[in-house]
Amino acid sequence: MTTDTVRAAIVTGAARGIGAATAKRLAAEGFAVAVLDLDEAAGKAVVADIEATGGRALAVGADVSDEDSVTTAVQRVATELGAPAVLVNNAGIIRDNMLFKMTVSDWDAVMNVHLRGAFLMSRAVQSFMTNTKWGRIINLSSTSALGNRGQANYSAAKAGLQGFTKTLAIELGKFGITVNAIAPGFIETEMTAATAARMGISFEEFRDAVVQQIPVGRAGKPDDIANAVAFLAGDGAGFITGQTLYVAGGPTV
């Protein structure tokens, strides 16, 4: 980081998995990191890990799909860590099912967290970024945006995030704010373990079957995504915006 002032970053869904790895990586890059999660207590372990390595972090509880909760959380970050300069919209849930079995609540829950959440969080931080003429918004999409059996809700939400990303890039670019999306492929997390459970197979069996189709010959790790986020959050990525970077171990169709 080239600036003398420590920049604040917010990572949603940061208590575990990709979010936790991203929070730790951004802290290592010199950001003061708000570890935002539905369960504030769950984020404290990530904060402790960051502080143990000399970083600065804050656990914040918030429901990203609730407007008042988001407003309160972002204001708390601004007060305690500083004006948000980076936002990583990572919070996500799955409610997988075939279309004929999918309930309205399954659909709404996924849309609310992924799309409504990204909208509310981005809207809440944009004024801080426009005031300082510097900002990075990074949305977590997925290869499921290309279509995935049993994930009509999740696929639609992740594809929607890509359109959201492109539009914000157009609107916010003149203020020095870049907006990009990262679309992970198969990453070893609790979420992919839950997918295996839904399919009625062990996680190891599921992972090994998927890896056979990945050109680099391995499953992704949360750090693989955190590394991509760190690049897009840096000063060096200032001429990259409105893009979706597939981090999937191979080309996507």
Q: How far is CA 7 from the centre of its chain?
A: 18
C-alpha to C-alpha distance for 140 and 153, rounded to whole angstroms: 15
How large is the angle between the packed helices 222-232 and 17-28, nearest 10 degrees?
Answer: 50
**Residue whose entry in the numeric block shows the structure tokens 């970024």:** 129
Q: How far is CA 99 from the centre of its chain?
A: 26
Two tokens, residue 34: 């708000």
C-alpha to C-alpha distance for 184 and 248, rounded to whole angstroms: 6
Please list the active-site residues: 154
**Residue whose entry in the numeric block shows the structure tokens 């426009």:** 130
